[in-house]
Structure 1
Amino acid sequence: MRLSKIKLTGFKSFVDATTLSFPSHRVGIVGPNGCGKSNIIDAVRWVMGESSAKHLRGAAMTDVIFNGSHTRKPVEQAIIELVFAEVNIPQYPPNADIAVKRQLSRDGQSVYFINGVRCRRKDITDLFLGTGLGPRSYAIIEQGMISRLIEAKPEELRILLEEAAGIAKYKERRKETEQRMQHTRDNLARLDEVRNELNKQVDKLKRQAKQAEKYQELKQAERLLKAQLQALRWYALDSSVQEQQDNIDEQAAVLAEKQLALQQFDQTHQRQREAQIMAHHTLTEAQNRYYEVDSEIQRLEQTLQHAQERYEQLQWDLEQLETRREAMQQTLGLDEQQLTQFATEIQAKEIEFAQQQAAEQVAQQAVLEIETQLQAWQSIWDHFNQRAAAPTQQAQVEKTRLHNLELRLEQSRQRLSRLEAEERHLDIDSVEYALSQLEPEITALNTELADAQTTLTTYQQAVQQGRAVVQQLTQRLHEQQAQAHKLNGRLASLEVLQEAALGKNNASLNTWLQTQGLDQVARLASHLQVEAGWEKAVEIVLAKYLQALCVEDLSSISALLDTPPPGALAFFATQPPLESTHSGSAPTLLDKVQAPWALTSLLAGVRIAETLTAAEQLRTQLQAHESVITPQGIWLGSNWVYSQQAINESTGLLAREQEIQQVTSQLNQLNAVVEQLTTELENQRLSLQQQEYHREHAQQQVSDIHQQLAQLQAQQSAKQARLEQLHVQSRRIIAERLELTEQISDDNQDLETTRRALHAALEAMAQLADERDALTQQRELLQTTVIPAKQTWQTVRASWHQLEIKLESLRTDQNRLQQGINRLTQQLEPLAEQQAQLQTQLEQQADPIAAWESELADYQQQRSYAEEALLQAKQTVAHLESAVRDYEGERQRLESACQVLRTALEQARLECQANQVRRQTLEEQLREQQWSPVALVADLPEYADEASWQAQIEAVERKLEQLGAVNLAAMTEFKEQAERKQYLDQQAADLDQALQLLADAIKTIDRETRNRFKQTIDKINHYLQNMFPRLFGGGEAYLQLTDDDILKAGVTVMAQPPGKRNTHIHLLSGGEKTLTAIALVFAIFELNPAPFCMLDEVDAPLDDTNVSRFGTLVKTISERVQFIFISHNKITMEIADQLIGVTMQEAGVSRIVAVDIDMAVNMVKG
């Protein structure tokens, strides 16, 4: 591998795009101090992943971006690209070229690329692992690093040697492995906590599941018994409703008879009601007549009262009018006397006013003569000012214009300077370059986005299909679970009925069996298989023996019977009897029964017949111990017949047992199907989760790409807008510069013209100054004369004005009095007319009062007649109402009797309806539970009643109470948690296995690290023994470990220059330290040559002799390693095949000048 090129753009002082080529193995970089040579070393270190701003000689990472100068603006990003040639790395083709690039923007976003493909920083560091290259490797020796290398702590020096030994990648992998182990241990610890907690839950759920299963069985039996109890109540209510309906019909007939009698009574008394109505009509007319007469009387009384009040009001108004007229006549006399006084005073004031007016005219004439002289002077003065104003105004105008022109010229020059500076700061090239860099990134992201969207679509379709499958499986599983639940309920009901039929509900008997150890012994009925159709016959014949306990030996039972059981109890020996034959050729009931034991002793003598007729025929052939039975349960002996058709608790015991077995078989099959469907559903859900995970990952990838693309497109839009803005600014600046240049030229010409015009105006102003002084003296003389005349005129005018005001005031008062007299005179004239009118109205008001009083007397007489007619009508109505009340009493009695019957009928109907509602409610409740009340009643035995069924329900409820609180979801939860426990146990085992594998991997890494590091120390000591004497001219040096543990031991350098004792390197001089460090670095290169080595003024502390030795050694090693060195020493420069000069002609901006030494020598020789 060889470094062929470095491309810098916007990095520190290299603001312009700069390319440094390294075609040879020895390249020197020269230039004055501060020109930016060391920035090249920083650039290489930065691209290789340096993340510390301190090691790049900055305070923040963005400090590496060019921050502007006096003539240049800051740039937005820094880009460095290293091109390596002849690369031999396993993941790339032999002798390939690799380009590694890093890009940093001011927003802090750092991006890495390998051959134009975006990658991570870790990918860059992994690329150079084991090659000796890296941001802080021994291949890059900057200023002061030699001293830091020698003065480094043993642990720091070890890191350098680990890189040289190529075990840095092993340490990195070991660190990653330890992190994985720690994460695995953490996960295992959390998993153990979850497993421990889960174990407790599983144990608890297991107990709860068993309890829930028992609870469901009892619940199912309880539901059946409660349904049967409701059916019994329904049947009782139905019977009660029928009886109540008959009673209602009888009461309705009686009520109809009573209502008919009431109608006949009403017809009889209809005429009495009509007479009462006529009497009321007469009474109403008498009342109306009385009220009309009374109303007229009230109207006349009110009219008379109003007329009298109006008469009194007119008398009062007439008196008030007379008083007012007398007061107005008195006021009129006083005003006429005052008017005469005002006329005399006004006449005297008018004479005095005429005298003052004449004196004011004389004084005014004197003032007018003096002002005429002043006006003549003013005319002369105005003419002079017109002649003098022209040059003065011209001078002022020219001064203002001159100031404005000078100010505008200065502003134009400043604006021109700003435009030139603004034009220099327009960074169009950098923006165009940034745009060209964004286009390929956007294209690549669009391609990547299309691929990611295609992947996302694929996963979305897979998720939809998976969800459809999960939905189908879930529906099927629910259907099977519902069917299984239904069968479980049926099985629980059958088992409860079977237990009752077998007598297992007898608490005292169960206690006795438990005491004798027989509570778990099977009953005979549970082991019998009966041919279809013959179950009833077998039940009748075996009867109580169906509940017999199956024991191996009856001899052991004899001792138990010493303590007799509390009830009937049968035992059946499971051992075959001594004789198993039966007589007769006819088939017996034994042939219809299959059992694991012989039933000859119970069924051998019982023959069978398909019909009752056939049984009657066989009856004549029966022996004394024989009998015959039909499938319908009719059992005949030689001299007896037995038939049992009633339903009791033991009826159907064998059929129920067979049904229990069938339901159990069906339930087992359904459970197998449910388990299979559950497994398939779980697997499909896991698959769906994986597909959803992939989909979410693809969705996230699409979102990330969208975000990156949006950011790049936003940057592109911003750059394009910025570029367009810069172009517009550039065009505007050019146009404004041309315009300002022309304006400055025009303003300079106008400035010279204005200065000449100002000089001429100032000369004309000087010539008119004497004439102005003469006219000013004449004006002052006239002003001294006019002032006394004006003062005299103003005094006389003021006295005349005061007299005029007084005279005007008297005339105003005179007019006011005259107006008041006229107004009073006008007001007195209508008062006399009003007085006459009031007198006439008063006389007219007295005439109609007498007529109204006479009319009132007539109406009062008519009211007395109306009162007598009204009293007579009231007496007639009272008599009729008394008769009606008697009728109403009789009718009320009949109505009360009807109402009693009606109430009783309504009550009966309500009770019947309530029973119907209760019956309907019970029927609806049963039908909601999928029961038919008719079917339930038909299936109930004849002896069934509410009390016995309630007792059975209470027995089941007590069992439920004994169970206590039950977790009904425990069975499902137990299964789920058990599966989860199994899964977590498998995970824990996998984690343990992974930990063991990781521990083995660490042991392998440690063993490999120990061997390689030991070999490295030995080899470096070997090469150091060769390098050290070549640089010092003798002596020796070696590396020494600080600890016996080679995996943790630090490394120190021991050196013995010629003629000195062996000592630690820290005790050497500065030059000796430098030579020792160089010897160590070159020894490392001999061990594991890095592709190139960069030296930044490492020869600065050396004298010429040591520099020559250094140069000779560099020449020798450069045959295998590429050297790029920065130096100010001429001897070092001589060994370079190519020199690159770095200059800073423009402040703050570095540029390069490359010189090929061999080519230059050939040119000189040529």
Structure 2
Amino acid sequence: MRLSKLKLTGFKSFVDHTTLSFPSNRVGVVGPNGCGKSNVIDAVRWVMGESSAKQLRGSAMSDVIFNGSRTRKPIDQASIELVFEEVNVPQYPEHSEIAVKRQLSRNGQSTYFLNSVRCRRKDITDIFLGTGLGPRSYAIIEQGMISRLIEAKPDELRVFMEEAAGISKYKERRKETELRMNHTRENMARLDDVRNELGKQLDKLKKQAKQAEKFQELKKSEELLRAQLQAIRWYALDSAVQEQQQYIEEQGGLLEKDVLALQNFDSTHKQQREAQTIAQNTLNEAQAKFYGIESEIGRLEQSLQHANERCEQLQGDLAQLDDTQAERRENLGADEQQVANLDSDIQENETALATALEAEKLAVQALHEAEDQLRDLQYAWDEFNQRSAEPTQRAQVERTRMQNLEQQLDQNKLRLVRLDEEGKDIDIKALERMVVELEKEIAQVQTTLDEAEATLKTHYEAVLKLRDVTQEQSAQLQAHQSDVHKLSGRLASLETLQEAALGQNDAEKEAWLQAQGLHDAPRLAASLQVESGWERAVEIVLGARLQALCVADMAALEQALEKPPQGVLAVFDTGKRKSKEIAENGSLSKKGAKLLLDKVQAPWPLTTLLTGVWSVETLSEAYRLRTELAAHESIMTSMGIWLGPNWLDSQQGMDENAGVLARKQEIDDITAQLGVLEQTVQSLSQSLEEKRIALHEGENSREQAQLQVNEIRQQLSQLQSQHSGKQARLEHIKAQLERIANERAELTTQIQNDNEALTATRDKLHAALEEMGQLADEREELARQRDLSQETVAQTSQTWQTAKDERHKVEVRVESLRTDHARLLQSIARLQSQLEKLAEQRSELQHNLDKQTKPIERWQTELTEQQHKRTEAEEGVIQAKQTVEHLEAALNDYEGERQRLETHCNELRTAIEKARMTCQGNEVRRQTLEEQLAETDFSPVALVGDLPEYADEESWQAQIEAVERKLERLGSVNMAALEEFEEQNERKQYLDNQTDDLNKALISLENAIKTIDKETRIRFKQTLDQVNNFLQTMFPRLFGGGEASLQLVGDDILKAGVAIMARPPGKRNTHIHLLSGGEKALTAIALVFAIFELNPAPFCMLDEVDAPLDDSNVGRFCTLVKAMSERVQFIFISHNKITMEIADQLIGVTMQEAGVSRLVAVDIDMAVDMVKT
């Protein structure tokens, strides 16, 4: 088994899918602190089944999932996969490559896969048992583990030794076996309880069966008595039904008479009801007339009240309106006086306003003249500034331009020099030659790759065919092996049963036979061949003689038989003895009977055992021939029923020797089948081994071809990469030369242009400076005139502002007077309008008052008339009401008489209905009794006819109770007692057999465990001694001298711990804890390498174990690793340059992106070759 790849996705800092390849036996993992190197070790331990987060440097198992960084979000799942090649695992012989994978999601669900098939964690750990690999094995040494290993407790160090000895898998299976044995013992204890319970139940069932028959007799008597009791009840119900039907007919006649009288009474009552209705209608009309008059009186009274209230309201409104008119006239006079005063004030202020406007006009005119003069001077000043700014600006521009041109000239000259130097360093012809040579080499390597891929395809197809054939033959072999296992188990069970049936498991008898030299004497049953179907018949006839020992001379046992062993002992003399012949019954053979002797074959004559026993197929034939039998003869049927002239023997299921001959035949058949199957298994095993060897060779050839293809592909990839780089470099250089030429020409032209522009700029600057000196005097005169004009404008502006403010005050005062004048005019107009409206309202109110007063007298007259009519209508209502009350009293008398008749009719109907319901209930009960009797096949009429005249329900109930008391005295009776007894008896026999088999199996397992413990002691002791020897060799190589040893701590080698003692050269330390850190590290490395010498694991992972070592010790450590790498694959993490030098491949782990680990892989040999070329 060899580790080829490690695939990480989302595990700790390896967030992206990352694959670490291990193509050689020395692979180094390097990188700065904190970049994620140790996560590689954690990943390998985690995928192998590590379940402790603490061992993975975390607080919870979810800590192994990438938890995000500044630029990346957390992910939900981590996945690790280990790929092993050159696999030789007994559980999976058909696989040459195994991929072990583990996934963990944030919800805590952990999933394992084996070759992409989901499996259990135990399946993964079982693969690595005994190989030295595991989540906490000696093959994976992480940071700090060296010190923990060397300082481990004796029990913890023993685990490493057990793994090295290869007994860890046996220890695990031993625990499982002991657990199963404990469960089996618990099951057997429960089984014994069940057997004891069954024994008690069988005793009870025997007693219950005796009571069953008596119970059945009493039950039949009870059923007859109950049927007769129901017949008595049926007869009583039938008589009651007839009496009730007669009563219903009599009461029905009385009811018809009362109904007829009630109908006549209703006719008279109807006439009186009509008269009462007419009187009631008259009363209703009188009341309606009275209520109409009452309504009219109320209406008139309400109208009069409303008219009087309205008049009072109108008179109040007129008085209020007169007061309002007087108030409005007073306000109108006051407003007219204020208007006259305002007219005078307005006239005076308008005169003042005209004077203010004239003064403002003169001030504005003076201001405009001063501003015009200032504007002319400002225009002249601006014109001068414009003329004087032009030479100044021109001078400034020319200075700036001159500076830029001088700077640009210096830059262009410097750039021209650099371009000349750059062009001299480029050698394009050499690069073109290298590109052409690479193209030729790529073509050659591509041809080689095509040939290698064709060879690989051929090997791959051959391996696939061999693998299919191997898998098919493996499946066949497993099927045949399973058949052999099943038949072997069945054969062992049958042989055990056969030995028990033949009495070969009786220790006392076996000891007696051993003493007489008869232990190996064959049994009679083992020597017989019986015709199929007649085994049971022969077993019954021979009985215990089937266990007979076949001896040559029975007389030799005469003395020994004076003290025979306990139990059955039968002996059959196989020597030739003369016995009296008995004549054959010819009449039986003529009638189809055959001697039972003819159906049995044996090495010796069986005449003395089977003479006189005939055989027929059926019992009817045996009965028919029984009268022909002689006194010494008998007939046996194929069913096992044995008849004599006057006797019969049937032993169905009772003979302990039953099945001996059939079982012997089955044993012979299974033995023959096993022989054939074992030959087939041997042939298939040989063929399968040949196919596996061929498959292994084919896979090796395929792997070699694959390696060759990979190497060629890598070589081709490197050449193509070099060619691409050189081609890109060539194109870049050509473009660079062209750019240099173009840029040089442009720079030369630009330098010439800049020199010419610089000369022209200097001339323009000189002219601008001369013109600026001539304009200075003119600037001073213009400035003096402008300042004087500005003072004049300020004074005139102040005068204008004063006149403007005065004019504004007068305007505001005039406008305010005009506003008040207009407001008073509007108020006068409004008051005049209100007075007109008030006059109209008063006229209208006076009209309404006159109109309201006119109908009051008319309504008063109508009210007096209606009150007189009301008195007359009230007298008519009283007379009509008296007539109605008289008629209602007469109706009430009739209603009372009718109610009495109707009540009597209802009583009759109730009595009839009650009698009818009773009759129907009796009929239903009678019908029910008839149906119940019919279910028991009894007829009520027949039962009543058979009953005596004195039969009554009470006496028959007493007889039933007497039978019930007898049944009660019997108690609860199990009617299925016999059947249950047979079933429970068979079950107990089955459980007894199962118990015996389990006891034998437990004994076998206990013996096996003792054997394993014995072998474990031997193997562990041998391993400890061998590791001690290797440790005594490794320790001096690493220390340059000294000695170390392993010692047992405890007396029981199965449980004793292991302690390590070390003495570096020149020291007398007796305990490991007295060593320095570097010495402890070297001692632990020596121990691990010593274990590897004994039981090398497929690979060894070392995480900075050289950190505490100095350079000399690191050198010895590297020498030892290099030597052991011929047999063991080493993957080490280190910061030491000396350790890095021994690696064939270096895998760099970087963390350019914060929190995310990435790989950079370098092949040392290829790197050296590239440097040399």
TM-score (norm 2): 0.46
